[in-house]
Amino acid sequence: MTINSPTSVPPAKPRGRPRKTLEEREDGNRKKELLSVAARLFRHQGFNATSTRDIAAAAGMRSGSPFYHFKSKGDLLFAVMEEGMRSALAKQVAARQTMQLSEPVLPSPRQQLHALVRQHFEVLLGSDSDFIPVMLYERRAITDEQRYTLTQLQRDYEAVWLPVLEALHTSGQLRCPVKLARLLIFGALNWSVQWFDCQQTESLDSLTDAAITLFINH
């Protein structure tokens, strides 16, 4: 009589995404650092005046290391802009969720606009805020295809503002047509990166209060 050997059972595969190796995590951190350094230099020196050698030196890398992550300086510029917009979108979602959870009732359109403006100032002027200014003033240096991608992200970002502006217009608090109001509001807010100095001017909270007073009626 033969004895059958027990059937071997393959080990269960772990669920979810496989964990990143230490090398992969370090590579991701270096890429993030590279984007932050590039954003700072592009903002303060300009895209044309900044070389990949400058970026590598500021990031503590060898001169050719940026090309391990990006094919060209132009691709790095676009990555900075895209990272800025995706981060702005994520922060906008988080800010709205926090506001809705903290309010006992649905926030009024004025309160919602106040929160949106405050968050936009944070994106433009807060910590790690070099990304969006680069997008605002270096957009001509990227390709049409890259500009299209950024335009889609901007539309997603601004789409949250439109129903708020429409509600304010309906109530008479916003006299300007919504389309024109959106352009004027973003134009005014975005220009603050040219003159705002956190050491000498108002706080972001007082800046937000002033902007709301300027944009809408009580």
Q: Is residue 67 part of a domain?
A: no
Is residue 51 one of the residues assigned to a domain?
no
Contact 181, 162 (CB under 8 A): no
- Residue 112 resides in a domain: yes
* Contact residues for 101 (Cβ-Cβ < 8 A; gap 6+): none
Could you tell me if residue 37 is inside a domain? no
Q: Residue 162: inside a domain, yes or no? A: yes
The identity of residue 45, as a single letter, is: Q
**CATH for 203:** 1.10.357.10
**Enclosing domain of residue 179:** 73-215
* Cα 155 to chain centroid, rounded: 13
In 35-63, which positions are buried (b, 16+ CB within 10 angstroms) versus exposed (e)? bbbbbbbbbeeebeebebebbbebbebee
Structural domains counted in the chain: 1
Query: Is position 64 within any domain?
Result: no
Q: What is d(CA 164, CA 34) in angstroms, rounded to the nearest whole number?
A: 37
Tens-level pLDDT at each residue, the chain (218 residues): 344 444 545 555 555 555 545 444 555 578 889 999 999 999 999 999 999 999 999 989 888 888 888 999 999 999 999 999 999 999 999 888 887 777 677 889 999 999 999 999 999 998 888 999 999 999 999 999 999 999 999 999 999 999 999 999 999 999 899 999 999 999 999 999 999 887 776 789 999 999 999 999 87
**Structure tokens belonging to residue 12:** 């269960």
Report if residue 33 sits inside a domain. no
Alpha helices in the chain (DSSP H): 22-45, 52-58, 66-69, 73-102, 109-125, 131-137, 144-159, 161-170, 178-195, 204-215
